[in-house]
Amino acid sequence: AQSVTQPDIHITVSEGASLELRCNYSYGATPYLFWYVQSPGQGLQLLLKYFSGDTLVQGIKGFEAEFKRSQSSFNLRKPSVHWSDAAEYFCAVDQFEGRGSTLGRLYFGRGTQLTVWP
């Protein structure tokens, strides 16, 4: 089974500061990797995803993430945080083995709660 680790339960940054949220996964092959954001009382919104190719992927709201195979990591970054970025962030892994297998099974980390100081 897959596992996804988000080591930081809660992070606090000042508005305008840079941000990095960590995510590590365990899987033998290259998985599909996702970051989702959940604002208070809201559902899940996809920020970005990685399947293959360029290891630095750009997402919405100015976020980017870098896949590092050697470290089994997929860390989320943003150069300048806005107060509206305060939310909970989830890293997720999809174990893709082709059509008809476990396609559709997402394994989520426990989330990182981001607080932004004005």
CB of 84 to another protein, least distance (A): 20
Judge contact between 87 and 114, C-beta under 8 A. Answer: yes
Out of 44, 62, 64, 73, point to the residue binding another protein (CB under 8 A): 44
Among 11, 13, 86, 106, binds another protein (CB under 8 A): 106
Half-sphere exposure at residue 37, Cβ-oriented, CA atoms within 13 angstroms: 17
Where does this chain touch another protein (CB under 8 A) — which range of 17-25, 56-64, 71-79, 92-100? 92-100
Q: Are 4 and 105 in contact (CB under 8 A)?
A: no
- Binding status of residue 10 toward another protein by CB under 8 A: no
Structure tokens at 117: 């100081």
